[in-house]
Amino acid sequence: MLTLEKFEEASEVVKKVTQETKLVFSEYFSNQSGNKVYFKPENMQLTGAYKLRGAYYKISTLTEEERSKGLITASAGNHAQGVAYAAKAYGCKAVIVMPTTTPLMKVNRTKGYGAEVVLYGDVYDEACAKAYELAEEYGYTFIHPFDDPVVATGQGTIMMEIFKELPLVDYILVPIGGGGLATGVSTLAKLLNPKIHVVGVEPAGANCMQASLEQGKVVTLDKVNTIADGTAVKTPGSIIFPYIQQNIDEIITVGDEELVTAFLDMVENHKMVVENSGLLTVAALKHLNVKNKKVVSILSGGNMDVITMSSVVQHGLIFRDRIFTVSVLLPDKPGELSRVAAVIAEENGNVIKLEHNQFVSINRSAAVELRITLEAFGTDHKNQILAALEKEGYQPKLVRTNI
């Protein structure tokens, strides 16, 4: 059971493999939200995520016989690395089943810790079913990523550290995929101080825990659709579900677009790379209907491959109107392009790309299309550039940006 004594025991055990992740005060998000916002940067752990805590503590409780059989688990990446690292520390074999959609960086890092990786299924749930099959076939000891009170106890050591640093914390924001982290954090929070308000945050496209709480039982979503791959879970844990029911005060869901802009904010204001699932609690800050509270957002991980990072940055700039594309029609004659460029330059717009289409009209002399992709300071600056083009007789039309 998840008792205070077990949490204290786990806290001592995980110190052998975890880095100290002290709270980071965020002036930017504090000003944005009207609260005192702190981050718990678990993205700075050795394996890039908090999952090492639960995996290592669970393996520490196994018998020598259980460890000697070899360990197996299913994971979208972070639990995989936690189990692989912990298994290596204990000198035992680890087999990890990962969805085929898992970012390459997470796959390679898992292999780098000495684990055998099996790619199977499109989502975690399919990979998990395969892992159970292999455990049955080869006699491996299964380490569940979230539906295990012992694993959840290991994850809850995060809350012990938060409480020691900030005993008067009012709100804790915790990401939810299957519910292991939320179980450990919320249960210990209520043991330490029942007045702490614990908010679970899920992707809007994978809100299995919200749906389960609403129906009062564990339910399975028909599908999941989110860029937060670490929390793309169809079915939450059934063993830990009662703890969630008792200790989570509310659920907030966050859309993918909000995660994209949160990534941009974290990079620019804190110089931190946080993966999409870890950004759930950052994006949720603006959904809190409170002011002047001490709020801790748990940044659960930072394992994001460079290609995904590049895509997220580009889309974030577009969502923030810092990159946009405008279409204007102009006569096909010398000097017109320089006229348009002069208007944009006067307003301090920076041209990134030009596309000249002579075939938009049968009468080329009457009109050709010029699509201009621009860099701006934000929405106000974008509108200023559009107004200047309009004033000069052009009829600017915003179109989809393709970088």
Which residues does residue 118 pair with via DSSP β-bridges, in sequence order? 97
Pairing of strands 294-299, 171-175: parallel
- Token output for 25: 């005060």
Give the C-alpha separation, 122 to 101, whole Å.
6
**36, 106, 300, 382: which one is catalytic?**
300
Rounded Cα–Cα distance for residues 56 and 51 (Å): 9
- Options 40, 51, 130, 190, the catalytic residue: 51
Q: What is the C-alpha to C-alpha distance for residues 378 and 302, in angstroms, rounded to an integer? A: 27
Closest residue by Cα to residue 131 from 94, 88, 85, 102: 94
CA 118 – CA 133 distance, rounded (Å): 12
Contact 230, 77 (CB under 8 A): yes
Catalytic site includes residue 397 = no
- How far is 47 from 54, CA to CA, in rounded Å? 13
Which residue in the block uniquely carries the two structure tokens 């904010």?
265
Distance (Å, whole) CA 266 – CA 215: 35
- DSSP structure string for 268-315: HHH-----TTTTHHHHGGGG----S-EEEEEE-B----HHHHHHHHHH
Q: How many CB atoms lie within 10 A of CB 256?
A: 17
**Do the Cβ atoms of 230 and 102 come closer than 8 Å?**
no
Closest CA to 11 of 180, 123, 153, 150: 153
Residue 29's Cβ-side half-sphere holds a number of Cα atoms within 13 Å equal to: 31
Active site residue 58: no
> Is 385 strand, coil or helix?
helix
At which residue do the structure tokens 């209907």 appear? 289
Active site amino acids: 51, 300
